[in-house]
Amino acid sequence: MIQDKTRIGVLGAGGRMGQAIIAMLAGHPTLVLAGAIERAGHAAVGRSPGLEFPPGLTICSNPFPLAHACDVLIDFTTPSALAATLDAACEGNAAIVIGTTGLEAEHHALIDAAARSIAVLQAANTSLGVTLLARLVGDAARALGPDWDIEIAELPSHAASSVAASADGVVKSISTSQAWASGNGLEQMVKPGGNSSPGDRPTAA
C-alpha cells in the first residue's frame, strides 16, 4: 500500500542525480515517488518520470504542491532555486535532503532558518566514500595540529562541466572538514592556484 511507504519528491528530475534517484524509486519496497520537479522551460516538464510510474504522474515545475504531497523532498537543483524550494518544504512541512552544490553563505543561512521548523540534511557530496574521507581529513588535522599543513590539490580536468562541478563539491567538502577541525575559517585556508613546492607555508591567521 502506498500509504505505508515514505513519499519522495525529487527536485532536479531532469538531471543526472534526479534521474538516478527516480530509477532507484521504481519498485522500491519502502519508498514511493510522489512527484518530480524540474525548472520551468526544461524539456522534461510535462513528461512522465518513467514507464514504471502511473500514467498521471508527470514532471512539474512548481515545488509547492509537491511539498504538501510528500514526506521528503530530495533537492539536486541549483543554488538559485534553493530559496523557493525551502519555502515550499516549510509550507508543506516536508523534510528535505539538499545535495545541490555551489552553495554560498547566504544559502546556508536559509538552510539554517528552515531547519528550525523542518528536518534538513545538507551535504556537498552524498558519496559514502567522500564523507568518510572528509572525516578522516578532519581527524588528521586535529591530530597534527597547527604546525602541519594539509594540502588538498584539485588536478586540472578536461571533463564535462557537470563533472567539474561535482569535483568542486568534493574538494570544498573535504576542505570544510579540515577548516572546522583546525579552528579556522574556510576562507583563511583556501589558497587559489595551489602551492605544491616544498618549504614553509604561511601560518593561518
For residue 167, how many other CB atoms are within 10 A of its CB?
Answer: 16
**Residue 28, Ramachandran bin (φ over 0: left; ψ between -120 and 50: alpha; else beta):** beta
Domain 2-122 has CATH 3.40.50.720: yes
Q: 65 or 192: which carries more pLDDT confidence? A: 65
> What confidence score (pLDDT) does residue 110 get?
97
Distance, in Å, from the CA atom of 196 to the CA atom of 177, rounded to the nearest integer, reads: 21
85-131 tens-digit pLDDT: 999 999 999 999 999 988 889 999 999 999 999 999 998 777 888 88
Task: Output the pLDDT for position 170.
Answer: 67
The whole-angstrom separation of Cα 78 and Cα 202 is: 35
Q: Which pLDDT does position 10 carry in this prediction?
A: 97
pLDDT given for residue 97 in this prediction:
97
Q: How does pLDDT run across 56-84, given as a tens digit for each residue?
A: 899 999 999 999 999 999 999 999 999 99
Integer Cα distance of 10 and 71 in angstroms: 11
The amino acid present at 133, given as its one-letter code, is L
**Using CA atoms, how far apart are residues 114 and 118, in angstroms rounded to an integer?**
6
* Cell matching residue 32: 514511493
Query: Looking at residue 177, what is its pLDDT?
Result: 67
Strand, coil or helix: what is 32?
strand
pLDDT value of residue 164: 44
Map out the domains of the chain as residue ranges.
Answer: 2-122, 128-189
Name which of 95, 98, 35 is nearest 71 in CA terms: 95
Task: Please answer whether residues 6 and 18 qualify as being in contact, where contact means their C-beta atoms are separated by less than 8 angstroms.
Answer: no
pLDDT in tens, 143-185: 888 777 777 666 655 444 444 444 456 666 666 666 666 666 5
8 A C-beta contact, residue 97 and residue 118: no
Q: What was the pLDDT predicted at 1?
A: 42
Question: 192 or 183: whose pLDDT is higher?
Answer: 183
28-44 pLDDT per residue, tens = 999 999 999 999 999 99
